[in-house]
């Protein structure tokens, strides 16, 4: 997995280590997208952090997913976003509304995954809970 991220916004190293995945971090988004099969982004400003919005827009502006960015990924690359998305900020409308986007399938699948998770938790079966030793 290749993760482009500005300095100061890298993922928690304990979580990365606990995942046991091979993760490459870079502050050069154009390096991380080359030949990628999947491009995923999220909103730059999370709920409750609205006061940081202008600063984050400046910091993350080079990380916008554009058509040109997607052309550097593999020919059949897909685009995902967990929503809500802000067209023209973290992703261009041509990408999120385009043929490579699977955001609506992703949203539907999330519903079913959340139902399964609620069932597991309500049934008291936490034996398969991932990363239980990591403070997320």
The pLDDT assigned to 124 comes to: 83
**pLDDT tens, N- to C-terminus, the chain (136 residues):** 999 999 999 999 999 999 999 999 999 999 999 999 999 999 999 999 999 999 999 999 999 999 999 999 999 999 999 999 999 999 999 999 999 999 999 999 999 999 999 998 898 876 766 555 444 4
d(CA 64, CA 98): 15
The pLDDT assigned to 128 comes to: 65
Residue 94 burial (CB count, 10 A): 14
Q: Structure pTM?
A: 0.85
Q: Closest Cα partner for 65 from 38, 45, 46?
A: 38
Domain residue extents for the chain: 2-122
The pLDDT assigned to 136 comes to: 46
Domain 2-122 has CATH 3.40.50.740: no
d(CA 121, CA 127): 10
Residue 99, classed as helix, strand or coil, is: coil
Spatial neighbors of 113 by CB under 8 A, at least 6 apart, are: none
């Amino acid at each position: 997995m290749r993760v482009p991220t500005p300095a100061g916004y890298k993922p928690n190293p304990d979580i990365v280590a606990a995942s046991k995945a091979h993760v490459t971090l870079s502050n050069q988004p154009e390096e991380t997208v080359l030949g990628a099969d999947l491009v995923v982004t999220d909103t730059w400003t999370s709920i409750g952090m609205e006061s940081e919005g202008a600063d984050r827009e400046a910091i993350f502006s080079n990380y916008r997913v554009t058509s040109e960015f997607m052309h550097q990924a593999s020919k059949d690359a897909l685009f995902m976003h967990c929503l809500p998305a802000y067209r023209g900020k973290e992703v261009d409308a041509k990408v999120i509304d385009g043929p490579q986007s699977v955001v609506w399938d992703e949203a539907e699948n999330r519903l079913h995954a959340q139902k399964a998770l609620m069932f597991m938790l309500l049934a008291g079966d936490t034996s398969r809970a991932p990363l239980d030793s990591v403070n997320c």
